Amino acid sequence: MKPDRITTGLEISGAKIVRNIGVVRGIVVRSRSVFGQMLGGLQTVFGGNITVYTNMCERARQDAYDIMCEHAEKHGANAIIMARYDTTEIMRGVTEVLCYGTAVVVEEVSS
């Protein structure tokens, strides 16, 4: 799916929604490794961006996003509107990342 066909908005610029397929989602559950916890702990001592956690979170968000796009394409969508992320800590060190939106079929609007 083209990145310009995924938006947090209600419409896709230059396109008309011709069919609403429904909610699609991508879910990823991640835990911190022992090595990651140690490295993250060391980084907290010095302050600033804790890159090991930043990278882990970014990978989880990207994976959830990719799964959402696959879910939409599997159901015949060529766009997603109202895309959102949500996270939940399931237990200490284990986090769920959910990416969801509304899958739609759009057609180009002729000028």
Q: What is the pTM of this model?
A: 0.83
CATH number of the domain where residue 50 is located:
3.30.110.70
Kindly report, residue by residue over 10-26, the tens digit of the pLDDT: 999 999 999 999 999 99
The number of folded domains in the chain is: 1
Percent of the chain past pLDDT 90, that is, above it, reads 63
Structural domain boundaries enclosing 44: 3-108
Q: Is the dihedral of CA 70, 76, 80, 86 positive or negative?
A: negative
Helix (H) or strand (E) holding 102: strand 94-108
Kindly report, residue by residue over 26-80, the tens digit of the pLDDT: 999 988 654 445 554 555 556 566 677 788 889 999 999 999 999 999 999 999 9
